[in-house]
């Protein structure tokens, strides 16, 4: 019998010790695990305590923010008044029915809502497109399903939802959108509501809402989710005169913001359907006239349905504009223009004329006192008010510009003061003789001052010769036009400093600057055009530019931007015009770059043009005006519009008064008259100046 070596016994003993060691580690691991769990549990309790006790306020705010949102509703725009406080543009408050769209509303919800609402209110159907009608028809869940069943296999498998919907729209038949009158009303309501973005408010009816409709909507409020009653405003124009044309217009909620302005307005916090100024003063002063929106807090439930709507902050009506124009004076100027122009139509002198225009400015601060005109249709002899023609329509000015020519001569150093030059006919090879009305073959010495009084073309051409660095000789040839380009620029620089040929920077958008030819190619300026430019027979200017020129001479050389808005005003509690918040102007654009003595020579020349005693003094009749007047007349040789064979003239004038302490500067433009000797420009100018005197100075 083989003896047990004891190895098996030892092994058993060793295994027992290993098991004991493992067993001794188990409680430690369990205890360690329990410790970790306990620690995590304590941390969780601490975190919960922190959230519920220490940070409870912040958490509540976050919870509230996740279930509420803020929406804004527009308030009435500011009003526009004339200089005497007469309302030109106001607002009419009216009852309205509104719709606020929730995040969860589907097309089917809108379809049902439109059909429920149309039973309670009446709307005039919009001009619905075929697509509008199809969208309404597809708003019904049942109709949408019908149309989708007509899709081809490929169309049903289309992953782009918008493309699949377009394909679905095409499946709607013409018969299915032959709507009754009541269906057209419902489709209109559907379109208006469907245009609303989530949690924005739109008007579904904001005109002619009856008390009965308001009561019915309020009574059925629980069946009309998102529908509410409120107040809206509409722009009203109690003033019916020509100033309406410079006020501009405001878009409807349906039009919203124009595409060209959308990005800019959205960046400023506007909504796409906000009503904004789209033209003229309404657009120029949009941010002033636009009110502060009323803000509402909308609370949503877990299904994104509106639970409550609470006013958070009350909006404010927009600020008001007060114009520098007294509508009574504006109307007086209009009557003066109309009466005189009608006389000219009857006599045949205005047979080809496109109209008559006049502007009056305060030369000391840029206030526009009047800007108006009439557009004439020669074929029908009809007159139509066109005040914007004063900044949009440009004509050849004639000799009124000669103060600018002297200025260019001073700046170029070719004349220095009241220089005396010789007035003789100018004979240029290949060109007709150029001279002044009073010019003869006998030499006549005239000064700069006298050149303005008598309106010497020759004096102005002599300035050009000096600027070119040449001496005039009878029968001479002029340098090539291309070589004169810098002289054109130097001559125009003097004109520009008075506002001729550049923007006046009036606070009405899109003003024109006229034509200043700069292309020196084959069809560009020729040798004689530089001489023509010197006495106003080449470039074209607007009536507003000439008025700014007159105002600059009147005030001694400061070119001030004209403005039709005199000030921005707040509102009284009752909505009436409040106190001034901001005065507009004067804005000095530049000063004419000549000495005081040189400017005084120009001013004295304007004075002598009225008060001189020469037989050729150009504006002598204005000496009979009720105030002391200074002026410069201008006649430009032209052709009838569209008919170069018929010779006509532009008869213009710039003037200001009183001469020593000017309060008013004016320009009058009478284009394309058939009578060169007609002096209606002087008659109109005096009547405007006398009207101002009677209304404000007498």
Q: What is the DSSP letter of 450?
A: H
Q: Is 379 helix (H, G, I), strand (E, B) or coil?
A: coil
Torsions phi, psi for 387 (to 5 deg):
-65, -30
Distance CA(463)–CA(466), nearest Å, equals 5
Q: Where in the chain is the domain with CATH 1.10.10.1230?
A: 106-197
Buried/exposed 605-619: b ≥16 CB within 10 Å, e otherwise: bbbbbbbbeeeebbb
Position 215 pLDDT exceeds 80: yes
Distance CA(320)–CA(660), nearest Å, equals 35
pLDDT in the model for residue 22 = 55
Q: List, in order, residues 6 or more apart from 149 with CB less than 8 Å away.
A: none
Contact 635, 676 (CB under 8 A): yes
Q: What crossing angle do the helices spanning 402-412 and 596-611 adopt, rounded to 10°?
A: 150
What is the gyration radius of the CA atoms in the chain, in angstroms? 40
pLDDT band of residue 231 (cuts 50, 70, 90) is confident
Q: What is the mean pLDDT of the chain?
A: 89
Q: What is the DSSP letter of 455?
A: T
Residue-wise pLDDT tens digits, 516-525: 877 665 566 6
The CATH code for residues 106-197 is 1.10.10.1230
Residue-wise pLDDT tens digits, 2-21: 445 454 455 454 555 555 55
Torsions phi, psi for 70 (to 5 deg):
-110, 135
Contact 213, 97 (CB under 8 A): yes
Lowest mean pLDDT among 333-347, 478-492, 676-690: 478-492
Q: Where in the chain is the domain with CATH 3.90.1310.10?
A: 60-99+203-323
Torsions phi, psi for 578 (to 5 deg):
-95, -150
Q: Where in the chain is the domain with CATH 3.40.710.10?
A: 327-697
Distance CA(296)–CA(311), nearest Å, equals 4
Contact 606, 666 (CB under 8 A): no
327-697 homologous superfamily: DD-peptidase/beta-lactamase superfamily (3.40.710.10)
Ordered strands of the 630-640 beta sheet: 382-385, 368-377, 355-361, 664-673, 643-657, 630-640
Of residues 684 and 481, more confidence is placed in 684
Q: Which of 410, 300, 398 is nearest to 654 (CA)?
A: 398
Lowest mean pLDDT among 314-318, 371-375, 394-398, 598-602: 314-318
Buried/exposed 181-193: b ≥16 CB within 10 Å, e otherwise: eebbbbbbbbbbb
Residue-wise pLDDT tens digits, 571-621: 998 878 999 999 998 999 999 999 999 999 999 999 999 999 999 999 999
Q: Residue 96 has which token pair? A: 């309205």
* Alpha-carbon dihedral sign for residues 275, 281, 285, 290: negative
CA angle, 607 then 609 then 612, to 5°: 85
Choose, from 90, 399, 408, 455, the residue flagged as catalytic.
399
The CATH code for residues 60-99+203-323 is 3.90.1310.10
Position 635 pLDDT exceeds 50: yes
pLDDT in the model for residue 154 = 92
Distance CA(496)–CA(513), nearest Å, equals 10
Q: Which of 242, 328, 368, 340 is nearest to 687 (CA)?
A: 340
Alpha helices in 197-307 (DSSP H): 211-219, 244-247, 262-267, 280-284, 286-289
Active site residue 347: no
Residue-wise pLDDT tens digits, 434-462: 999 999 999 999 999 999 999 999 999 99
Percent of the chain past pLDDT 90, that is, above it, reads: 67
Q: What is the DSSP letter of 553?
A: H
């Amino acid at each position: 019998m083989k003896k047990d070596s004891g190895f098996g016994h030892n092994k058993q003993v060793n295994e027992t010790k290993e098991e004991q060691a493992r067993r001794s580690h188990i409680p430690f691991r369990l205890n360690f695990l329990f410790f970790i769990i306990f620690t995590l549990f304590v941390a969780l309790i601490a975190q919960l305590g922190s959230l519920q006790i220490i940070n409870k306020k912040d958490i509540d705010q976050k919870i509230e923010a996740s279930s509420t949102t803020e929406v804004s509703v527009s308030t009435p725009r500011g009003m526009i008044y004339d200089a005497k406080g007469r309302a030109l543009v106001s607002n009419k408050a009216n009852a309205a029915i509104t719709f606020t769209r929730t995040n969860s509303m589907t097309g089917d919800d809108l379809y049902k809502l439109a059909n429920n609402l149309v039973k309670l209110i009446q709307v005039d159907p919009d001009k619905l497109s075929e697509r509008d009608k199809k969208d309404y028809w597809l708003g019904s869940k049942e109709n949408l399903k019908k149309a989708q069943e007509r899709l081809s296999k490929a169309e049903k498998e289309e992953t782009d939802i918008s493309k699949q919907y377009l394909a679905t729209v095409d499946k709607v038949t013409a018969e299915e959108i032959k709507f009754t009158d009541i269906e057209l009303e419902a489709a209109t309501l559907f379109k208006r509501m469907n245009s609303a973005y989530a949690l924005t408010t739109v008007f579904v009816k904001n005109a002619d809402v009856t008390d009965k409709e308001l009561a019915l909507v309020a009574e059925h409020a629980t069946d009309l989710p998102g529908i509410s009653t409120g107040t809206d405003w509409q722009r009203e124009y109690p003033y019916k005169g020509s100033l309406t044309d410079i006020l501009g217009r405001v878009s409807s909620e349906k039009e919203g913001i124009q595409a060209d302005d959308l990005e800019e307005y959205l960046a400023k916090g506007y909504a796409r359907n906000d009503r904004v100024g789209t033209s003229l003063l309404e657009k120029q002063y949009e941010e002033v006239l636009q009110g502060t929106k009323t803000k509402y807090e909308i609370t949503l439930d877990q299904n994104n349905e509106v639970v409550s709507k609470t006013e958070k902050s009350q909006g404010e009506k927009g600020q008001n504009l007060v114009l520098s124009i007294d509508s009574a004076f504006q109307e007086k100027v209009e009557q003066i223009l109309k009466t005189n122009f009608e006389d000219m139509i009857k006599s045949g002198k205005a047979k080809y004329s496109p109209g008559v225009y006049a502007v009056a400015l305060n030369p000391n601060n840029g206030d526009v006192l009047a800007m108006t005109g009439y557009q004439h249709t020669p074929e029908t002899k009809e007159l139509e008010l066109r005040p914007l023609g004063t900044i949009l329509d440009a004509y050849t000015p004639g000799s009124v510009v000669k103060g600018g020519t002297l200025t260019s001569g001073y700046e170029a150093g070719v004349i220095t003061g009241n220089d005396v030059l010789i007035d003789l006919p100018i004979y240029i090879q290949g060109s007709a003789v150029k001279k002044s009305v009073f010019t003869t073959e006998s030499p006549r010495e005239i000064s700069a001052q006298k050149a303005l009084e008598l309106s010497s073309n020759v004096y102005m051409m002599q300035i050009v010769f000096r600027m070119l660095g040449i001496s005039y000789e009878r029968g001479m040839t002029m340098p090539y036009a291309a070589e004169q380009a810098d002289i054109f620029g130097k001559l125009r620089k003097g004109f520009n400093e008075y506002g001729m040929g550049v923007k006046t920077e009036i606070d009405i958008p899109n003003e024109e600057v006229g034509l200043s030819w700069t292309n020196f190619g084959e069809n560009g300026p020729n040798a004689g055009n530089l001489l023509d430019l010197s006495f106003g027979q080449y470039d074209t200017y607007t009536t507003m530019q000439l008025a700014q020129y007159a105002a600059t001479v009147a005030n001694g050389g400061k070119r001030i931007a004209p403005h039709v808005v005199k000030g921005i005003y707040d509102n009284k509690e009752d909505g009436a015009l409040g106190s001034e918040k901001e005065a507009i102007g004067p804005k000095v654009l530049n000063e004419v770059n000549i000495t005081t003595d040189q400017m005084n020579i120009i001013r004295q020349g304007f004075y002598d043009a009225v008060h001189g005693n020469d037989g050729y003094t150009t504006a002598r009749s204005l000496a009979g005006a009720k105030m002391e007047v200074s002026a410069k007349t201008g006649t430009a040789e032209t052709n009838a519009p569209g008919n170069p064979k018929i010779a006509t003239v532009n008869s213009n004038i710039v003037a200001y008064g009183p001469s020593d302490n000017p309060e008013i500067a004016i320009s009058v433009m009478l284009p394309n008259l058939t009578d060169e000797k007609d002096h209606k420009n002087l008659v109109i100018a005096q009547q405007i100046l006398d009207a101002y005197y009677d209304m404000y100075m007498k």
